[in-house]
């Protein structure tokens, strides 16, 4: 579990660096699929991660608005600010936590903590995959998605 979260955070940070080198209008531009822009996809990745981690931690609902994070710099700070709380769950994950039921206020269903963490892993990789297509459509080289090449 931890390995895939660390992979996602490394890839996310590389996309942040990538975004800092692009014209702001390109990363704000409306595109097909996903959350319809690179900036909105990155905001959504952090929003969803923090929201589910807050549900696991039984904290009050977390409902950030995209309009409060209007630039890549805002989203980088957003991602960094909540990383310690996300790590507190991911790094302490155990076979007991795996089966622990979690009920988020926005969901009718109760899920196990294990299923929620797997959801977050898949969720981020999926939205990053979308961004790799948008990067190619911009004639830019996307960040590498290889997991094994990061383990050397």
- Note the residues at the interface with a second copy (CB under 8 A): 3-4, 7, 31-34, 107, 109, 111-112, 114-116, 118-119, 121-123, 125-130, 132-137, 142, 145-148, 151-152
Q: Which is nearer to a second copy, 68 or 109 (CB)?
A: 109
Write the DSSP assignment of 103-131 as a string of letters.
E-TT-SSEEEHHHHHHHHHHHHHHHHHHH
Q: Which is nearer to a second copy, 85 or 132 (CB)?
A: 132
Contact 16, 94 (CB under 8 A): no
CB of 54 to a second copy, least distance (A): 15
Q: Which is nearer to a second copy, 24 or 114 (CB)?
A: 114
Q: Which is nearer to a second copy, 74 or 132 (CB)?
A: 132
CB of 68 to a second copy, least distance (A): 26
Residue 47: closest CA among 20, 24, 67, 25: 67
Helix axes 72-90, 113-137, angle to 10 degrees: 150
CB of 113 to a second copy, least distance (A): 11
- E strand or H helix at 2, and its extent? helix 2-20
CB of 34 to a second copy, least distance (A): 7
Instruction: Tell how far CA 152 is from the center of its chain.
Output: 24
- Site of tokens 């990789």: 125
Q: Which is nearer to a second copy, 51 or 74 (CB)?
A: 51
CB of 52 to a second copy, least distance (A): 9
């Amino acid at each position: 579990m931890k390995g895939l979260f660390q992979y996602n955070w490394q890839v996310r940070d590389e996309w942040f660096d990538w975004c800092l080198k692009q014209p702001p209008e390109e990363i704000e531009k409306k595109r097909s699929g996903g959350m319809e822009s690179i900036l909105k996809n990155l905001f959504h990745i952090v929003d969803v991660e923090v929201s589910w981690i807050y549900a696991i931690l039984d904290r009050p609902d977390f409902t950030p608005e995209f309009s409060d994070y209007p630039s890549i710099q805002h989203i980088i700070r957003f991602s960094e600010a909540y990383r310690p709380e996300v790590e507190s769950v991911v790094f302490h994950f155990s076979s007991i936590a795996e089966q622990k039921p979690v009920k988020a206020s926005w969901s009718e269903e109760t899920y196990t903590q294990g299923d929620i963490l797997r959801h977050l892993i898949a969720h981020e990789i999926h939205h990053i995959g979308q961004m790799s297509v948008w990067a190619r459509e911009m004639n830019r080289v996307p960040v590498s998605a290889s997991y094994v090449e990061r383990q050397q």
